Chain A
């Protein structure tokens, strides 16, 4: 995680778990003593956005930048000008939580001047249990479309295959198979395998990519 580029962009198909990964990643990076800014660029979703966790994350040392329009109930897609700061300031670790699909990635386009080759990582979050990304072809379609719209390159895959709390190790390994095939076709490495802590413990040690245990920030207890 410390070897990732200073600017990390989290993209993927709609509902693949980008926000949950971005929030966990930010929190973990802050625990390493880093100055972390999480920019919520989601202009697609009305619920379950990282900006809802501003307070909780600030206690963990993560600064969250949300919409420039205050009020968490707003669905007006207004990206804050504040987001320029962590992109320019080389002292901070910037994590951009981007809305799903090519349509969500469009919000990235305006930052293209900050996204120089070798200066950023763009991670593609993949959940093989989402109906639209169950095959190699479809997953690659989303990767290419997101790259085209954002004018940035995906530099790593994240296998985030799950069925929430009913996820099994087999689910993750099925997703891993898909991620590795996508990796073989595209040359993009599998960077992380994210899974709930109890599942992460049971994953084989030689799995491609770093096992990344997460907890569910975005899902209230009653939803289980």
Chain B
């Protein structure tokens, strides 16, 4: 298929529908509005259903219901709206249901602003909801990668019965790039025999639930089912891009659109004879700890670049386990890091050890 030019938000909608998403429940918020708008226009054409809920809380609970019925369902919002959905996300994770949640991140805290940010890293990877739960988090850097990951998210959600979040800063939602739609790699997907899709008088009723009053039963649920599943996902689904990490003077770590700015900074450093590597986590959870194993003793320091005051840096420090100093450069409020500022930070690290 020939490439078309799409805005990130539209492309996410188109990718979801191509992946078989039939249901979308949401509530408007900038900078992701084009996505529900797209779904409201396009879902009826595929016999799907779009509902603009009365609130984000209602929307995520509609997702909970639809996921329980075994259909492919998605919701989207931006930062404060995703905050409102956290309770429902915890319930969906607790009830082990598949769904896809898109967060097009804007500056915070509170209402913050409408410009791009990456300050929901904690919210996405630590969860704002209660309990020992996890969900997969994909952080694409281009519109093409966004499309690919959204399509795959529905499969991953079904395979592991887990919510999958696709997180992009406002730029991913708003900017336009050429895209094409390709089927993701085929996965062996289990049948949804747990779904509440009608007994037809042929089986016992299924129950969708996250309540386990008996402590022994809850411990089995958390340890034997959820935690084991998390371990398998951590083993099998980690994804990252790695560039020139071995023997680099400095290794940068950045995700999403920030990684593209860092690549520009790296190219500028290379012109001056510096060797600078990049680790770009594509899954924020599970975090690509193993990518950091390639960092050698020659490297003077790690530079984490984020559109936040420093959130992913915690995971970078855990992965580095004290082997090398970890530095930070960030912008907030919707301001975008500048390649020259990143170059200056890199030079400081290289010079600082002399």
**A residues neighboring B (CB under 8 Å):** 14-15, 45-48, 73-75, 127, 129-131, 134, 162-164, 166, 219-223
29 contacts between A and B (CB under 8 A): A15-B5, A46-B30, A46-B33, A46-B170, A47-B31, A47-B175, A73-B114, A73-B334, A74-B114, A75-B31, A75-B114, A127-B5, A129-B5, A131-B6, A131-B10, A131-B14, A134-B4, A162-B5, A163-B3, A164-B5, A164-B176, A164-B177, A164-B178, A221-B339, A222-B257, A222-B260, A222-B264, A223-B175, A223-B260
Closest A-B pairs by Cβ, 6 of them? A47-B174, A163-B178, A129-B5, A222-B261, A46-B30, A75-B30
Q: Are B5 and A130 in contact (CB under 8 A)?
A: yes
Q: Is B48 an interface residue (CB 8 A)?
A: no
Q: Is B115 an interface residue (CB 8 A)?
A: yes
User: What's the dominant secondary structure at chain A's contact region?
Assistant: loop
- CB-defined contacts of A73 to chain B, threshold 8 Å: 113-115, 334
- CB-defined contacts of B33 to chain A, threshold 8 Å: 46
Q: Are B30 and A129 in contact (CB under 8 A)?
A: no
Partner of A166, one of B178, B263, B264, B339: B178
User: What's the dominant secondary structure at chain B's contact region?
Assistant: mixed
Q: Are A46 and B260 in contact (CB under 8 A)?
A: no
- CB-defined contacts of A75 to chain B, threshold 8 Å: 30-31, 114
- CB-defined contacts of B339 to chain A, threshold 8 Å: 221-222
Distance, CA A162 to CA B178, complexed state (A):
9
- CB-defined contacts of A74 to chain B, threshold 8 Å: 114
Q: Are B174 and A131 in contact (CB under 8 A)?
A: no
- Shortest beta-carbon distance from B261 to chain A in Å: 5
**B residues neighboring A (CB under 8 Å):** 3-7, 10, 14, 30-31, 33, 113-115, 170-171, 174-178, 257, 260-261, 263-264, 334, 336, 339
Q: Are B4 and A129 in contact (CB under 8 A)?
A: yes
- Shortest beta-carbon distance from A67 to chain B in Å: 13
Measured CB to CB, the nearest residue on chain A to B175 is: A223
Q: Are B261 and A46 in contact (CB under 8 A)?
A: no
- CB-defined contacts of A127 to chain B, threshold 8 Å: 5
Measured CB to CB, the nearest residue on chain A to B258 is: A222
- CB-defined contacts of B6 to chain A, threshold 8 Å: 15, 130-131
Measured CB to CB, the nearest residue on chain B to A223 is: B175
Among B178, B257, B263, B264, max chain A CB count under 10 A is at B178
- CB-defined contacts of B4 to chain A, threshold 8 Å: 129-131, 134
- CB-defined contacts of B336 to chain A, threshold 8 Å: 220
Distance, CA A48 to CA B174, complexed state (A):
8
Q: Are B170 and A47 in contact (CB under 8 A)?
A: yes
Q: Are A163 and B5 in contact (CB under 8 A)?
A: yes
Also in contact, A129 and B114, with CB within 8 A (given A73-B334, A164-B5): no
Distance, CA A127 to CA B3, complexed state (A):
13
Given contacts A47-B175, A164-B5, A164-B176, 9 further A-B contacts (CB under 8 A): A48-B174, A48-B175, A75-B114, A129-B4, A131-B4, A134-B4, A164-B177, A219-B175, A223-B260
